[in-house]
């Protein structure tokens, strides 16, 4: 299967869950500041790392569910960047679905540009390395946030959220999620 189709299959799975949760909870996440979303990403990535190291889950959810959460929290962050953090109005499910599609479309385009240049190196990487890259990106975003969003020569927070989203999709492809949605 090609990368584009696998990517789309993973996103379809993540988006279906996200939209169902939106139907259940509305867009309560709109109240979150970007720093809180970054912290949620940290919690999820740190849990993946702990599960990779200990191989024991005490709450029943495993690595796959956490990577799905990382994908969806990255989408939330990208949407919040677009709409602003100060929104607490509930968005219609259709609007959320459109915003999700837009965020993923831009992120997938970035992935293809980088994937071309790197020759799909991610396929030969260990799952643990993808986890570590996500954690590194989280720490970068935290530093940028601590610097009031200012960078001297580095990419901004959106690019880091997009990279984390792509790494999480790669991890889910490696975990076989894409193969369930052919």
pTM: 0.94
Contacts (Cβ under 8 Å, ≥6 apart) of 148: none
174's tokens: 């490696």
Rg (C-alpha) for the chain, rounded Å, is 16
Percentage, residues of the chain above pLDDT 70 = 98
Residue 149: predicted pLDDT: 85
Compute the average pLDDT of residues 140-154.
90
Compute the average pLDDT of residues 18-46.
96
State how far the Cα of 90 lies from the Cα of 31, in Å rounded to an integer: 10
Domain limits of the chain? 3-181
The answer to whether residue 60 scores a pLDDT higher than 80 is no
Residue 123: predicted pLDDT: 94
Compute the average pLDDT of residues 40-54.
96
Compute the average pLDDT of residues 50-54.
94
Closest CA to 169 of 98, 72, 99, 101: 72
71's tokens: 């994908």
Name the residue with higher pLDDT: 149 or 137. Answer: 137
């Amino acid at each position: 299967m090609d990368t584009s189709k696998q990517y789309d299959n993973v996103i379809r799975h993540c988006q279906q869950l996200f939209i169902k949760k939106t139907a259940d909870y509305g867009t309560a996440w709109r109240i979150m500041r970007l720093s809180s979303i970054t912290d949620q990403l940290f919690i999820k990535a740190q849990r993946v790392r702990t599960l990779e190291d200990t191989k024991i889950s005490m709450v029943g959810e495993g690595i796959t569910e956490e990577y799905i959460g990382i994908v969806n929290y990255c989408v939330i962050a990208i949407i919040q960047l677009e709409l602003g953090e100060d929104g607490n109005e509930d968005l219609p499910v259709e609007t959320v679905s459109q915003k999700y599609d837009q965020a993923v479309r831009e992120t997938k385009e970035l992935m293809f540009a980088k994937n071309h240049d790197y020759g799909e190196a991610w396929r030969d990487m260990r799952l643990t390395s993808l986890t570590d890259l996500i954690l590194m990106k989280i720490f970068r975003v935290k530093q940028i946030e601590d610097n009031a969003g200012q960078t001297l020569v580095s990419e901004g927070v959106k690019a880091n959220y997009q990279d984390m989203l792509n790494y999480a999709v790669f991890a889910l492809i490696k975990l076989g999620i894409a193969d369930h949605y052919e």
